[in-house]
């Protein structure tokens, strides 16, 4: 089942011509509407007319998450706020969120891309789909919602957080599809099992993403729930869910290449690696109006395949993700940078800068423990003082990263000191 045959089955030449035309338009657009890009281009003596086709993309400068942070909140927007109809945000590397804005047309294109992905997973207007990604600033909930609505499915906007209600409604509403993180779906499958509801569900398909997961997890989900599970990818800076998704053959994720031009780079040299080799994924948003991005470095590691898929689609496929270039963690679907914790605690004099994050997965739910050394001056055996400090720090961390962490305060000089680059994270989950 293909949502938009014209776009998903174009010949490589047709796609290339479309991308070239869109890139020329984009470069002219950002040059005239985004000071950041105009200055970057002027610094290397590049004029919009120098970009003749998609192959010239290598002449253009890169964009990073730090660029978004440095231009917080709206500095990279290409339109006035009167044209922006929605804002989303995700974690920045330190205190400030990464903010993105969408015009009405951006939202239409986003819904179109998600519709393609859901169609790949066999979802149609006859389905009842529970959207159990978080609604709010995170792009998962509303992004999946708009796409499912576009294909005419019956959308149940569950959001996250109430598994019992979700499982009850899954049965009562006869839900046939679900969109949520893979770890949450495994948790849901346990709740269904514990409640004896497994044989009462009508679920056929799950569209899972927002965090890394393995082929083993996919098989576990499929077996436990007797459904098909599909991998959906995206990131808020580029759009949200729906940048790419896998089909029945699970041989890579089809990129919505008419809107997002992918490049796989060697992170050190920032040159392209040969097709099939692993590197850092960068995207150029070919049609975005609100916050168009040129060569945005996702920090996600993958490889690319341009051969036609067995499903008939000709779009480039990126492989299941193999890790990240940076230290970003995804805990309960939330992006967390260790540097956020560092920044939040820098002014708390009761603790030292030595900390350790221990990430684990218990009953398919992620757990986070943050161990911190108390500063010698404040170290005490007095249990109430320690409890009060623990509570204070837990609150600061919750405010900084948006999820609860178990805080464990330890004696001064007890956390392991590293000889080289400081190690602040122990991730016991096996995600790649
Ligand atoms: O996670 C958007 C999304 C929502 C995608 C729902 C899929 C489903 P961010 O919060 O900006 O956006 O996080 C983006 O999450 O750079 C990857 O590291 C990771 N990620 C997203 N999807 C996948 C996936 C949303 N299918 C970051 N596999 C990205 C592995 C994924 N990692």
- Closest Cα to atom 30, ligand 1: which residue? 212
- Backbone dihedral angles phi then psi of residue 367, each to the nearest 5 degrees: -125, 150
The Å distance, Cα 241 to ligand 1 centre, comes to 7
Atom 1 in ligand 1: residue holding the nearest Cα = 210
- Report which secondary-structure segment, H or E, holds 339: helix 338-345
User: Residue 126 has what pLDDT?
Assistant: 98
- Tell me, in angstroms, the distance from the centre of ligand 1 to residue 194's CA: 29
Distance CA 139, CA 335 (A): 12
> Are the C-beta atoms of 181 and 212 separated by less than 8 Å?
no
Q: Which of 92, 113, 235, 427 to mutate to test the pocket of ligand 1 (most atoms within 8 A of CB)?
A: 235
Does residue 133 line the site of ligand 1, with CB under 6 A? yes
Residue 247 has pLDDT above 80, yes or no: yes
CA 311 → CA 174, 241, 425, distances in Å? Answer: 29, 21, 40
pLDDT of residue 432: 87
Q: Give phi and psi for 334, each to the nearest 5.
A: -105, 135
Cis peptide leading into 73, omega within 30 of 0?
yes
211 CB neighbour count, 10 Å cutoff: 20
* Number of CB atoms found within 10 A of residue 432's CB: 12
* DSSP conformation class of 375: P
Of 264, 425, 266, which is closest to residue 356 (Cα–Cα)? 425
How remote is the CA of residue 242 from the centroid of ligand 1, in Å?
A: 10
pTM assigned to the model: 0.94
Q: What angle do the packed helices 215-225 and 182-194 form, to 10 degrees? A: 30
Ligand 1 atom with minimal separation from the 253 CA: 26
Cross-strand partners of 98: 90
Whether 95 shows a pLDDT value over 80: the answer reads no
Sheet of strand 205-209, all strands in order from the earlier edge strand to the far edge: 154-156, 128-131, 177-180, 205-209, 228-235, 240-246, 253-255, 317-318, 304-305
Query: Looking at residue 310, what DSSP letter applies?
Result: T
Coil, strand or helix at 74: coil
- What is the pLDDT at residue 416? 86
The alpha carbon of 235 and the centre of ligand 1 are apart by a number of angstroms equal to 5
DSSP 403: S
Does residue 266 or residue 383 have the better pLDDT?
266
Q: What is the DSSP string of 151-183?
A: TT-EEE---SS-HHHHHHHHHHTT--EEEE-HH
Q: What are the Cα distances from residue 340, in Å, to 328, 336, 370?
A: 10, 7, 13
Mean pLDDT of 203-219: 95
pLDDT of 93 reads 80
Ligand 1 center to residue 347 CA distance, Å? 31
CA distance 195 to 174: 16
Quick check: CB of 31 below 6 Å from ligand 1? Answer: no
Distance (Å, rounded) from C-alpha 15 to C-alpha 18?
A: 5
Q: Note the pLDDT tens digit of each residue in 268-281.
A: 999 999 999 999 99
How much of the chain, in percent, has pLDDT values that exceed 90? 91
pLDDT tens across 32-68, in order?
Answer: 999 999 999 999 999 999 999 999 999 999 999 999 9
Q: Is 119 in the pocket of ligand 1 (CB under 6 A)?
A: no
Q: How many residues does the chain have?
A: 432
How does DSSP classify residue 301?
Answer: E
Whether residue 257 has its Cβ less than 6 Å from ligand 1: no
pLDDT above 90: residue 174? yes
What are the pLDDT digits (tens) for 327-367? 999 999 999 999 999 999 998 999 998 999 999 999 889 99
Phi and psi of 374, rounded to 5°? -75, 140
Tell me how far the alpha carbon of residue 338 lies from the centroid of ligand 1, in angstroms: 18
- The residue contributing the CA closest to ligand 1 atom 12 is 235
pLDDT computed for residue 124 by the predictor: 98
What are the beta bridge partners of residue 351? 374
Q: Verify whether ligand 1 is closer than 6 Å to residue 30 (CB atom).
A: no
| 93 pocket-lining for ligand 1 (C-beta < 6 Å) | no
Of all protein residues, whose CA lies closest to atom 4 belonging to ligand 1?
140
pLDDT > 70 in the chain, percent: 100
191 near 165, Cβ under 8 Å? no
Separation of CA 417 and ligand 1 centre (Å): 32
Instruction: Say if ligand 1 is within 6 A of residue 92 CB.
Output: no
């Amino acid at each position: 089942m293909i949502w938009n045959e014209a776009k998903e089955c174009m010949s490589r030449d047709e796609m290339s011509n479309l991308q070239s035309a869109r890139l020329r338009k984009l470069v002219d657009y950002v040059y005239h509407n985004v000071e950041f890009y105009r200055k970057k281009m002027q610094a290397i003596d590049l004029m919009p007319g120098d970009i003749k086709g998609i192959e010239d993309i290598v002449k253009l400068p890169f964009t990073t998450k730090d660029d978004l942070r440095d231009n917080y909140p709206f500095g990279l927007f290409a339109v006035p706020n009167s044209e922006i109809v929605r804002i989303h945000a995700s974690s920045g590397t330190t205190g400030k969120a990464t903010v993105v804005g969408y015009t009405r047309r951006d939202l239409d294109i986003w819904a179109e891309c998600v519709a393609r992905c859901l169609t790949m997973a066999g979802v149609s207007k006859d389905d009842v789909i529970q959207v159990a990604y978080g609604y709010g600033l995170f792009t998962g909930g509303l992004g999946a919602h708009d796409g499912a609505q576009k294909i005419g499915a019956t959308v149940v906007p569950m959001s996250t957080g109430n598994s019992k209600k979700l499982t009850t409604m899954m049965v009562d509403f006869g839900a046939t599809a679900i969109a949520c993180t893979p770890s949450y779906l495994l948790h849901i499958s346990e709740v269904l099992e514990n409640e004896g509801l497994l044989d009462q569900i009508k679920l056929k398909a799950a569209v899972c993403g927002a965090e890394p997961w393995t082929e083993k997890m996919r098989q576990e989900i499929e077996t436990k729930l007797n459904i098909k599970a599909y991998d959906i990818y995206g990131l808020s800076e580029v759009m949200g869910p729906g940048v790419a998704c896998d089909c029945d053959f699970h041989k890579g994720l089809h990129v919505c290449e008419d809107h997002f031009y992918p490049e796989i780079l060697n992170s050190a040299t920032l040159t392209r690696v040969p097709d099939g080799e692993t590197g850092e994924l960068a995207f150029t948003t070919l049609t975005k109006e609100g916050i168009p991005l040129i060569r945005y470095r996702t920090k996600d590691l993958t490889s690319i395949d341009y051969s036609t898929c067995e499903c008939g689609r000709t779009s480039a496929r990126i492989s299941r993700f193999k890790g990240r270039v940076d230290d970003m963690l995804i805990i309960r679907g939330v992006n967390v940078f260790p540097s956020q914790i560092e920044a939040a605690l820098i002014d708390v004099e009761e603790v030292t800068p030595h900390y350790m994050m221990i990430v684990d997965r218990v009953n398919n739910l992620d757990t986070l423990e943050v161990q911190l050394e108390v500063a010698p001056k404040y170290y005490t055996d007095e249990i109430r003082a320690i409890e009060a400090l623990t509570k204070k720090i837990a609150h600061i961390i919750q405010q900084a990263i948006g999820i609860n962490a178990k805080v464990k305060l330890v004696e001064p000089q007890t956390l392991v000191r590293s000889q080289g680059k400081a190690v602040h994270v122990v991730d016991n989950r096996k995600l790649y």
